[in-house]
Structure 1
Amino acid sequence: MTSGGGVRWDRRAMLRGSALLAGGVVAGAAGAVETTWVADRRLPLAGGPASATVGNRPQQVGGGALQVVWNVPGGDRKVALTFDDGPGPRWTPMVLDTLDRYDVPATFFLVGERVRRHAGLIRDRLDRHEVGNHSWRHRDLARMDAREAYDDLRRSHDTIAAIVGRPPRLVRPPYGHLGGGVLHAAVRLGYLLVLWSLKMVEGEYPDDPAGHARRIVADVTPGTILLAHDVGPDNRQVALDGLPAMIDGLRERGFTFVTVSDLLRTSAKV
């Protein structure tokens, strides 16, 4: 085909060129130059929530490595019971009372702003338990860049340390959401990042604490990190009311309750 100016256009060559551009190859005077194809053009190439690095300067990443844990299989019959989102006046005292009565240690992933607001609920009550950082106000850290995520976690870290009397060494991001910024902030703070391998399923057992407890007891395996909550919607009370039955059931199966860090230490010796 010839345009009005007399230049011949080759349709097949045009299509080939379009395909190269879409695939990330740009033709230049010195030949084809490969470029990176970006799936989501809305995300910045440098910085933003997806990036686990910050700028071109030294990264300030502490030990330089981050461990992410879901469970610790292959060891003894041990289970780590964890509670997220507290403290709160409705359920946290009840949970602590139950754990004290049954001599069960747990790991509490605390929300910094709630720690500040409800300090009296936990002051002097967490000695047998482990504490972790669950953000300042339970916002989604995976939507923050590294600096925002660090500022959020640092604020919560300092508040937990001041109220509880010891700094957290674990972090669990809200919703289990991971972004590059979260990873960078976590390694900068020297944290171990802890998720979970089993969680309470309250919605499946409305008004049936015993049934829910039996379900969890049946699903726990050695090295399970079990997620519960001591703050949240009404249906979560099913799991909390069933804690005594769950504890008894797991002990009947030969399980011992430990904190997350103790679970990891036990595994390291196996």
Structure 2
Amino acid sequence: MLNRRAFLRTALAGTAGVAVGAAGMKEIPHWLGLDRPPVAGGYAAGADVLDAVRHPGVAVRYYVETTEPVVAFTFDDGPAPHWTPMVLDALDAANVPATFFMVGQNLAKNADLVRGRMDRHEIGNHTWAHDDLATLDLNGVTKTLKRTEDEIHQQFGRPVTLLRPPFGHIGGSTMLAADSLGYDVVLWSKAMREKMFAGNPEGQAKDIVDAVRPGSILLAHDEGDDRRLVTIKGLATMFAGLRDRGFRMVTVSDMIATGKKHSTT
């Protein structure tokens, strides 16, 4: 079954000459219904599906509000044989915990890479196949998240409480699924800029160390192409530089707990 985006591409390819000549590109989304978000059950679903709603709201966190000098490193898309062992080695050498948002199918293929190495680290849900959740209905979002959650539980025997949507894309169906599964949604306040600092790990490290503020959530990856190496080679310098500034590295959940404690004092 084609989703709306795929259908649009197909329709445009097959009817572009006729449609554009007859009414222009602006009319095509209207003809296809793309200007009428599917609030009752599609990717923009509202909360009229009341049996799926457990709470009045889902937390979406770009950072954590706290005055404590804490920062959370997060790594997306793994585990993978390319970079995950190198990331874990760097974290182990500096005794730093991190939060890994794992892709379910990658965990199923590469569980041996991380087995026995995740005790200090947190594991979050990053969908089964790096799915763009903003294009899926509630059933589709729930299916990919639950399949990934089951894989994480099978491999590590631990619960999952955090979701990072691939690309940071969120639709209403994502929020409903997160609510039903008991997730907080975690985005980021600062990302590695590997293209800008290609071949310059020290520059990438300085960019991170200088930018971090209490409660920052940092986005990195442990899967991908060679550009990831500029981040991985700079991790030790990041850790040292942040410690020199008085920061502690913690998991996202530990930082959320710190923020909650701060808000009650």
Shorter-normalised TM-score: what interval?
A: 0.7 to 0.9
CA distance in 1, matches of 2:254, 2:188: 15
CA distance in 1, matches of 2:150, 2:184: 17
Aligned 8 A contact 2:101 2:164 in 1: yes
2:42 aligns to what? 48
Q: 2:187 aligns with which of 182, 195, 207?
A: 195
1:167 is the counterpart of 2:168: no
Change (3 A) 1:43 1:126: same
Change (3 A) 1:185 1:98: same
Q: Which structure 2 residue ranges, 5 or more long, are not aligned? A: 1-32
Structure 1 residue 128, shift from structure 2 partner: 0.3
Structure 1 residue 165, shift from structure 2 partner: 1.8
1:101 is the counterpart of 2:93: yes
CA distance in 1, matches of 2:194, 2:142: 32
1:84 aligns to what? 76
Q: What does the per-residue CA deviation read over 1:152-188, in whole Å, with 9 as the maximum and x for residues that have no partner?
A: 1000010011112212110000000010111111101
Q: 2:175 aligns with which of 152, 158, 183?
A: 183
Structure 1 residue 54, shift from structure 2 partner: 5.5
Percent identical across equivalent pairs? 49
Question: Which segments of structure 1 move beyond 4 Å, counting only runs of 4 or more?
Answer: none
Q: Which moved more, 1:202-211 or 1:66-75?
A: 66-75
Change (3 A) 1:215 1:61: same
2:248 aligns to what? 256
**TM-score scaled by length of structure 1:** 0.82
Find the residue that maps to 1:204 and give its secondary structure: coil
Q: What does the per-residue CA deviation read over 1:176-224, in whole Å, with 9 as the maximum and x for residues that have no partner?
A: 0010111111101000111110110011011010111011100111110
Aligned 8 A contact 2:133 2:141 in 1: yes
**TM-score scaled by length of structure 2:** 0.83
Amino acid at match of 1:238: V
Find the residue that maps to 1:131 and give its secondary structure: strand
Q: 1:157 aligns with which of 135, 142, 149?
A: 149
1:74 is the counterpart of 2:63: no
Structure 1 residue 61, shift from structure 2 partner: 2.1
Q: 1:60 aligns with which of 29, 52, 77?
A: 52
Find the residue that maps to 2:218 and give its secondary structure: strand
Structure 1 residue 42, shift from structure 2 partner: 4.8
Amino acid at match of 1:91: W
1:120 is the counterpart of 2:120: no
Find the residue that maps to 1:151 and give its secondary structure: helix
The alignment of Structure 1 onto Structure 2 pairs a total of residues equal to: 230
**What is the alpha-carbon root mean square deviation over aligned residues?**
1.4
Q: What does the per-residue CA deviation read over 1:13-44, in whole Å, with 9 as the maximum and x for residues that have no partner?
A: xxxxxxxxxxxxxxxxxxxxxxxxxx953533
CA distance in 1, matches of 2:131, 2:71: 28
Amino acid at match of 1:217: V
1:245 is the counterpart of 2:237: yes
The structure having more radius of gyration, on CA atoms, is 1
More helix by proportion, 1 or 2? 2
1:136 aligns to what? 128
